[in-house]
A and B are shown apart, each in its own frame.
Chain A
Amino acid sequence: MLVDLHVHTKKCKIGDDETREVTEQLFSSKVRLSGVKVLAITNHNCFDFEQYKKFKKCVADVCDVWPGIEFDVKQLSSKSGHVIVVVNPDKAEDFNTLIQDLVGDTSADSFCITVDDLCSRFNKLDPIFIAHYIKPKSLGEDDLELLYNKIYNKNRFLKEPSNIVSIGVLNAYDQRCVLGSDVKDWNIYENGTFSDFKYNFKNYKNFLKLLDKDSTYINDLLNQGQKEIIDVFGDNKTKQFPFKIPVYNDVNIVFGDKGSGKSEILVSLNDYYSSKGIPVSFLVSRNNESWFSNLLLPIPSLYFSSNLGCKSNLVESFVGISNYTDPQIVELESYKNYFRTITKNKNSILIKVNKISKINSNNDAFVRKIIAEHESYKSFLSSFVTSDTYKHFSSDDDFINLQKHLLGVISKSANYCKSQWIINKANFLVDFTIDSINTAVSESTGVPFLPTETGFFKFANERIKLMKNVELIFENLNRDQVNIDSTYLGKLGSKGSGSVINVCGFVNLLNIEKIDSKCLKQNKTDCKEILKKLKNVQSEIYTKNLFDKVSKFKTTYDDGTIKSLDDFIFNKRTFVLETHPYKPSAGEIAILSLEYEILKNKTNKRVFLFDEPELSLGNEYIETNIVPMIKDLAKSGKTIVIATHNANIAVRTGAVNSILKTVNNSEYNTFVGSMYTNELTSIINGEIVKWDSESERTLEGGEKAFKERGYYYGKNY
């Protein structure tokens, strides 16, 4: 619920911006746009009752407007500071009378009120006092102390620091704060900073109850939330003594002594939700390093040559190389035998058909291909004719003409197939005839037949095929690596966005030494060995040493596990900042893990368990990034349970439920309650402890740490 208790609607002082003046129309539209549900008009030393009534009315359907004023205050200190007074809207008329009486004709620039007057004159109007703190126009320290001591109800004294970081620290130290817009330009009012309250208080009276920590009221509010009582374990690891804790459908904090069993509660909750099939995100920050390492873990078994754009894994090429043998060469002896005996038979000299050169042309594959293509044309035409395609034609004639045309194309295709088949088969029968007659002559005469070919063609052809197989394998292995995907992890501030780039590629002779063994699908030495032997085959392809190289390749190939291109795959996952590889620090890994887990799971997980999310993170980052993310999750209806030692997380996430774990001399205790009631009750013996003192004791080193951080942020903001 957005609340703005510091709103200017008029230029009252000389130094005020002109753009603080706002018309009723602009006020109405900007308040609606901002989403603010409660605002207080607090002009400098001025209250315009008529404007207040008009403005209150024009936004009454979306926002409650309370009367107020921003005074210049000075009594003990040397210079004045600003204090906002907001009063009960039911008493706006009395407030107006009081202000007119107090300020009279004094200009806003010169009016100043004392602390005594401030504390005595407004008491009947149920006032809330908000002092500027750690920001320009802060009240002097003496006057601040005086105001705090004299105020009628200390719960109704708030501070307004400069920004959200300060507010987190101050709230954690029980110095309650609110943020106001202090609007300077109504044209951009919706961009202002507002207080975001956990609970929707319906009116001023309920707001006072909240400030007074009225436990009945707060418990009523708490009980409006969805709550489940769950058996968990936390006192020991044997899981023998379960106890019940409430878990709200909101932010729940588990804090307390070290070693008291906070993490065990989260483990129990994870088991509980998982067993019920409820999707859980469980982030254990002390495991961040291993989380990050796992993200970078290569999984080469997931990828294949097709991921790199290869049409085939070329297993046939590997087998072809492994099984390669040179075709038979015709020996000169065959020619000698023929010519030695040829003259014995006259007719054998006359028969010449067996001496024709063979064609040696086999186009079977081509013929099969064109026949298959023809069949696909036919099936297209068939589906074309039988479908409703004709509906799209303006006339039947057009449709029939197109059919005729397509039939003509198919007829030509059929004729082409036949003619190519005939030529191919005729070539075969020519060679068949030469061989057949040669054999017949040889059998009938006893004359060895004249070799019809030297065998060189086949020999050269097979070696060229072998060379092509080797080259095809190397060409594919030399392909560029491919970016499979990129996983966005989160932003590391001004350094840029961090992602994990997932690439896969082939290892080859050029890159294999640079690639880590764990990135490879197969054993690196085996890959190197087969690549080396393949290279040897390639270099000896036109020499007489080829068979020796092929034989060595065959031994390695047949005995090994590398069988195709798929076995040369490597997979590499690299963390990059924008586009450059980067090694994130432990703190940066913590940032990434949180952002990634929350962003990744916010739509599909119902429960979020965080175990010490603050580990390795600075308070500023927690305040400005983690706290808002957790609050957003809570707003979207998720159940969030956070085990933490960090005050900012415990307080600023607006946790509705706190679980305190204590251990003293092996005596475990569990308290449940809320920071809003400031009470935690033991589920074992009913003992009640204060939330603020326990949080001070257990969260980030206690009081000293809070004070130090308050000083630090105050100095810097």
Chain B
Amino acid sequence: MEKIIDVKIERKESEAILTFGFEEKMSLSLTSDSQDELKDFFIKLLKKIVDNKDIVYKLNFSDDGQTDLFHDVAEKYIKNLDNELASVYVEINKLPR
């Protein structure tokens, strides 16, 4: 089963955060320089994918109509990440059940 996950940009002063529309909110800050935060995000994301093997998540960037750098970068990145996740699903099938 395929499930579309909308990804939006939240802007707060000098911050730009990508929020992923799962049941429980997950976010990735473009303006953070913490490697740990970034790694935690992906561990949480991958765990979700592994625990719900029957669901194939597709990422969809929600365009908020703005034309700043955050928008451009986020759009390109989410597209790339979605492609990358497709290859992740191939590997997941080889994991022990």
Q: Which of A370-429 contact B (CB under 8 A)?
A: 371, 374-375, 378, 413-414, 417-418, 421-423, 425-427, 429
Q: Evaluate contact between A352 and B31: CB separation under 8 angstroms.
A: yes
- Taking a contact as CB atoms under 8 Å apart, the answer to whether A421 and B95 are in contact is yes
Are B50's CB and A418's CB within 8 A? yes
**Contact yes or no, A417 B96, CB < 8 A:** yes
Chain B residues near A374 (CB, 8 Å)? 96
Cβ A414 vs Cβ B77 within 8 A: no
Instruction: Flag whether B29 is at the interface (Cβ < 8 A).
Output: yes
Bound complex: CA A439 to CA B32 (Å) = 17
- Interface pair A350/B46, CB less than 8 Å apart: no
Please pick, from B28, B30, B43, the residue contacting A423 in the complex, using a CB distance under 8 A. B43
B38 to chain A, nearest CB (A): 5
Q: Are A347 and B95 in contact (CB under 8 A)?
A: no
- With A422-B50, A425-B42, A436-B76 known as contacts, the answer to whether A350 contacts B34 (CB < 8 A) is no
Query: In the complex, what distance in Å separates the CA atom of A60 from the CA atom of B35?
Result: 106
Check: B70 CB closer than 8 A to any chain A CB. Answer: yes
A348 in the interface (beta carbon within 8 A): yes
**Taking CB as reference atom, which chain A residue is nearest B72?**
A444
Q: Tell me whether B68 is interfacial, beta carbon within 8 Å.
A: yes
Partner of B84 from the list A378, A432, A440 (CB cut-off 8 Å) is A432
Q: Are B69 and A444 in contact, CB atoms less than 8 angstroms apart?
A: yes
CB distance from B32 to the nearest CB of A (A): 6
Task: Flag if B72 contacts A440 (CB, 8 Å).
Answer: yes
Contact assessment for A426 and B39 in the assembled complex, using a CB-CB cutoff below 8 Å: yes
Q: Whole-angstrom distance from the CB of B97 to the nearest CB of chain A? A: 7
Query: Who on chain A is nearest to B15 by CB?
Result: A350
Give the most central of B28, B30, B47: most A CB within 10 Å.
B30
Selected interface stretch from A185-193, A293-301, A354-362? A354-362
Interface size class of B (residues with CB under 8 A): 35 or more
B77 with A356: CB separation less than 8 A? no
User: Does A117 sit at the interface, judged by CB under 8 A?
Assistant: no
Interface size class of A (residues with CB under 8 A): 35 or more
Residues in A with CB closer than 8 Å to B91 are: 421, 425
**B69 in contact with A348 (CB, 8 Å):** yes
- How many angstroms between the C-alpha atoms of A425 and B47 in the bound complex? 11
Contact for A429 among B29, B32, B84, B97, CB less than 8 A: B84
Q: Can you list, as one digit per residue, whether each of B13-52 has a CB less than 8 Å from chain A (1) or not (0)?
A: 0111000000000001111111100110011011100100
A430 CB contact (under 8 Å) in B33, B39, B50, B72: B39
B44, chain A: closest CB distance, angstroms: 9
User: How distant is the Cα of A437 from the Cα of B45 in the complex, in angstroms?
Assistant: 18
Chain A residues with Cβ below 8 Å from B88 are 425
Residue A351, interface by CB 8 Å: yes
**B96 with A441: CB separation less than 8 A:** no
Instruction: Answer yes or no: A353 CB below 8 A from chain B CBs.
Output: yes
| A375–B38 alpha-carbon span in the complex (Å) | 32
Docked CA distance A3–B50 (Å):
94
Docked-complex contact A422 and B43, CB < 8 angstroms: yes
Chain A minimum-CB-distance residue to B35? A356
Closest chain B residue to A352, Cβ basis: B33
Contact B31 A413 (CB under 8 A): no
Inter-subunit contact B31/A350 (CB<8 Å) = yes
Of A345, A347, A353, A426, the residue contacting B29 (CB under 8 A) is A353
Does B80 sit at the interface, judged by CB under 8 A? Answer: yes
Q: How far does the Cβ of A360 sit from chain B's closest Cβ, in whole Å?
A: 11
- Which chain B positions have C-beta within 8 A of A425? 42, 46, 88, 91
Q: Which residue of B lies closest to A357 (CB)?
A: B35
- A351 and B73 contacting across the interface, CB-CB below 8 Å: yes
Interface: A433 (CB within 8 A): yes
Q: Given contacts A355-B33, A414-B97, A422-B43, could you give 13 more A-B pairs where the C-beta distance is less than 8 Å?
A: A359-B35, A371-B95, A374-B96, A375-B96, A417-B95, A418-B95, A425-B42, A427-B39, A429-B46, A433-B77, A433-B81, A436-B76, A437-B77
Q: Which 3 A-B pairs have the closest CB atoms?
A: A414-B96, A347-B69, A426-B42
Interface residues of B (CB under 8 A from A): 14-16, 28-35, 38-39, 42-43, 45-47, 50, 68-70, 72-73, 76-77, 80-81, 84, 88, 91, 94-97
Sample of 8 A–B contacts (CB below 8 Å): A350-B30, A351-B73, A425-B42, A425-B91, A432-B81, A432-B84, A436-B77, A444-B72
